[in-house]
Amino acid sequence: MATKRVRRIRKTNAYTLRNKVKILRGGAQFFRAIEDIAASAQYSLHLQTYIFDENDTGNRVADALISAAKRNVFVYVLLDAYASQKLSPAFIARLRDAGVHFAYFRPLVLSNVFYLGRRLHHKVIVADARVCMVAGINISDRYNDIGDTPAWLDWAVHAEGEVARHLNDVCIRVWNRSALRKKCLATAPPQSPLPSEECLVRIRRHDWVYSHTQITRSYRELFNAAHKHVTLMTSYFWPPFKLLKRMAEASRRGVKIKLILTGRADVPFAKYSERYLYPWLFRHNMEVYEYNKNILHGKVATRDNEWLTAGSYNVNNISAFASVELNLDISDRPLATDLTDKLQAIIDDDCTQITSDSFSASNNVLKRFGYYLSYRFIHIVFYLFTFYFTQKREKD
């Protein structure tokens, strides 16, 4: 019976079974994992990310990529043209001279299709279609543990097995569509033995322009399927209306919903907009916690100690309707329980609970009007700077 159930899940939801998975917190261990993955590559290595900065962390990652290329590994690096635009020509030349295939996603000028606001936001690395990481973590010092300064809080999923094979195909498709005439040559890496471990994992893509809306559907399913509790951590909370509706419905069914949001925002205006929603959250009996130890940049959610999602997707309209995002959904009780426990420890040790009373006491009418203006203004900015000539359908 269990075997039939697993087969049915895999068929209907594209879960893969033969995977070895662990959840990593951002910082030094994440960047060590990147270096280890690059060092293990023998045939192909894909790195696709939003921000790649030319600092100590960026140079370490670049050295790992260059080392792989010098071993005759096919190395493909795809960066967002806007977020990584500060890279110097000398830095890029150093990568290319070593044999790294380098390209920008949707160059701001040289683009065969014009989509203002559509950005490559996912963060993924895959070696040999065998091992991979999907994260919300960019390549820069602020996401690393540098000296006495802790990294911004974030998460990654490290996986070996079937999911890495499929993720390698995703990276090739994204590269071929984005790198103009620089088609990927590493199309058939040798098949590595699959791990003996079993863990249900599925890739969830989000690219509204090409009709990929899987991650938003995952979050709707999260609240539809919840029976006991949901813990959601996100760095920029501005949910689509339909998702707010699902959250309210789950709360009315008695599901305990905990939201971990940032208290120290890197984009203060976004935090003002986010706080406009707090009274609505309180009215629907949701618990709100603000993380104050550092900047919160994580994007994870867990349900009932059974299921979790993690990756680059922020719970907001920008991720839902503009950016290219990638998450992994994992149906595994030990992993979901472990992440839920870690999130609870963060709540207990590093967060301040915001209640209806404390919010009212610390926010006067003028502040609340500022939150309202910020919320409305961010909607206007979103619609002005994120528009599309048409929504396309991808032919895979």
Q: Catalytic annotation on 169? A: no
Q: Which position among 63, 169, 266, 304 bears the catalytic label?
A: 304
> Could you tell me which of 23, 33, 31 has the C-alpha nearest to residue 53?
31
Alpha helices for the chain (secondary structure H): 2-13, 28-40, 56-70, 89-97, 162-178, 214-225, 241-252, 268-275, 278-283, 317-321, 333-350, 356-362, 365-385
Q: Catalytic annotation on 11? A: no
CA distance 270 to 383: 15
Q: Which position among 53, 80, 128, 207 bears the catalytic label?
A: 128
Q: Catalytic annotation on 367? A: no
Q: Catalytic annotation on 121? A: yes
> Could you tell me which of 3, 328, 326 has the C-alpha nearest to residue 160?
328
Q: Catalytic annotation on 379? A: no
Q: Which position among 154, 271, 299, 329 bears the catalytic label?
A: 299
Q: Which position among 20, 46, 271, 297 bears the catalytic label?
A: 297
CA distance 352 to 341: 17
CA distance 80 to 32: 23
Q: Catalytic annotation on 299? A: yes
Residues 224-229: contacts with CB within 8 Å, 24+ apart? Answer: 224/249, 224/250, 225/303, 225/307, 226/250, 226/253, 226/255, 226/303, 226/304, 227/255, 227/304, 228/255, 228/256, 228/304, 229/255, 229/256, 229/257, 229/258, 229/303, 229/304, 229/340
CA distance 96 to 104: 13
Q: Which position among 123, 166, 212, 271 bears the catalytic label?
A: 123
**Lookup result for tokens 């996100």:** 234
CA distance 52 to 326: 17
Q: How many CB atoms within 10 Å of residue 392?
A: 14
Distances (CA, A) of 247 to 217, 230, 259, 330, 341: 13, 10, 11, 20, 21
Q: Which position among 20, 46, 101, 121 bears the catalytic label?
A: 121
Supply the residues annotated as catalytic: 121, 123, 128, 297, 299, 304
